């Protein structure tokens, strides 16, 4: 559904006049509804502990033998990097990070670091590394994008918010319509407890089913035949 269609559906449920235009409208109620729609979008983008499938991206860059990596090490739409996903593919080793500020300063205060694994952190607009990684290595990681809206004709999300009537989003239309309902009721000082309950219930179901999740097995790896070094669980040879 388009941004306009979502607002029209919510307005119909709320027994409000259904707007015929959203972003060209000048009446205060329609302006409020479109603002609440973008508020709903922002909250879903930032929903804690939920890595929405359609917001997950992979980014790669080529390392330099310096303590500050090139600007393209950080994509323009970065929200946050998914933990433990960064690897130096050239040397087949994980990249340690993000390093806490306290640990980072302790690292830099010591003699020059030497290690087969290098660490990283983000500070301001800089992607910092220590010790300096090898030059020319391919580094890859997954991250959550800030782009959650398709402009008209776009095949991938290219906007952070709704800006036109025919924009669509990566999120479930019913969820967004329900979110708009309780947000409007709250803004008017009306009871919204039931509407919020219905919204949060659907949100929890959709976030839990959004993508496949790994099976945790306390007995060991679920996929012992996956390519990679074999490390036996027991029976190590003696000296």
Report DSSP letters for 64-109, one per residue.
-SSSB--GGGS-TTEEEEPTT--EETTTTEEPB-PPPHHHHHHHHH
Q: How far apart are CA 78 and CA 225, in angstroms?
A: 34
* H-assigned helices in the chain: 3-13, 28-45, 101-109, 173-187, 193-209
Distance of CA 45 to the CA centre of its chain: 7
Residue 228 has pLDDT above 70, yes or no: no
In a domain, 231, yes or no: no
Which is more confidently placed, 4 or 238? 4
82 shares its domain with 17: no
31 shares its domain with 64: no
66 shares its domain with 42: no
Angle subtended by helix axes 28-45 and 3-13, to nearest 10:
110
In a domain, 131, yes or no: yes
Which is nearest to 51 in space by CA: 74, 77, 80, 76? Answer: 80
70 shares its domain with 137: yes
Which of 125, 144, 163 is the endpoint of a domain? 144
> What pLDDT sits at residue 110?
82
123 shares its domain with 185: no
Which is more confidently placed, 111 or 105? 105
In a domain, 157, yes or no: no
> What pLDDT sits at residue 66?
93
74 shares its domain with 137: yes
In a domain, 213, yes or no: no
Distance of CA 133 to the CA centre of its chain: 26
Residue 85 has pLDDT above 90, yes or no: yes
> What pLDDT sits at residue 230?
45
Predicted TM-score of the model (pTM): 0.84
**Confidence category of residue 108, pLDDT binned at 50, 70, 90:** confident
Burial 81-108 (b: 16+ CB within 10 A, else e): beeeebbbeeeeeebbbbbeeeebeeee
Beta-bridge partners for 129: 120
- Domain tally, the chain: 2
In a domain, 239, yes or no: no
85 shares its domain with 124: yes
- pLDDT, mean of residues 156-164: 96
In a domain, 156, yes or no: no
Residue 135 has pLDDT above 70, yes or no: yes
> What pLDDT sits at residue 49?
78
Q: How far apart are CA 94 and CA 140, in angstroms?
A: 10
Residue-wise pLDDT for 161-204, tens only, equals 999 999 999 999 999 999 999 999 999 999 999 999 999 999 99
In a domain, 225, yes or no: no
Domain extent, residue 122, equals 58-144
In a domain, 80, yes or no: yes
Residue-wise pLDDT for 19-51, tens only, equals 999 999 999 999 999 999 999 999 999 988 789
> What pLDDT sits at residue 231?
52
Average pLDDT, the chain: 90
17 shares its domain with 84: no
Beta-bridge partners for 94: 87
Task: Give the list of residues 6+ apart from residue 34 with CB closer than 8 angstroms, or none.
Answer: 3, 7, 22, 23, 25, 162
């Amino acid at each position: 559904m388009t941004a306009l269609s979502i607002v029209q559906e919510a307005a119909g449920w709320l027994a409000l006049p259904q707007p015929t235009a959203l972003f060209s409208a000048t009446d205060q109620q329609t302006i409020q509804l479109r603002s609440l729609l973008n508020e709903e979008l922002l909250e879903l983008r930032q929903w804690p502990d939920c890595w929405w499938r359609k917001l997950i991206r992979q980014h790669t860059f080529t390392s330099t033998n310096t303590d500050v990596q090139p600007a393209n090490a950080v994509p323009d739409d970065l929200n946050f990097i998914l933990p433990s996903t960064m690897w130096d593919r050239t040397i087949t080793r994980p990249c340690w990070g993000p390093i806490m500020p306290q640990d980072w300063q302790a690292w830099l205060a010591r003699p020059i670091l030497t290690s087969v694994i290098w660490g990283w952190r983000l500070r301001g607009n800089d992607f910092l590394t220590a010790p300096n990684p090898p030059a020319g290595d391919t580094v890859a990681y997954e991250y959550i994008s800030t782009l959650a809206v398709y402009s008209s004709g776009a095949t991938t999300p290219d906007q952070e918010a709704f800006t036109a009537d025919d924009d669509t989003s990566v999120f479930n239309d019913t969820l967004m319509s329900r979110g708009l309902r309780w947000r409007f009721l709250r803004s008017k000082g009306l009871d919204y407890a039931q509407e919020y309950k219905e919204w949060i219930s659907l949100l929890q179901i959709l976030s839990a089913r959004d993508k496949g999740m790994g099976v945790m097995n306390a007995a060991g790896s679920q996929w012992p035949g996956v390519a990679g070094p074999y490390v036996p669980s027991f029976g190590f040879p003696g000296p």
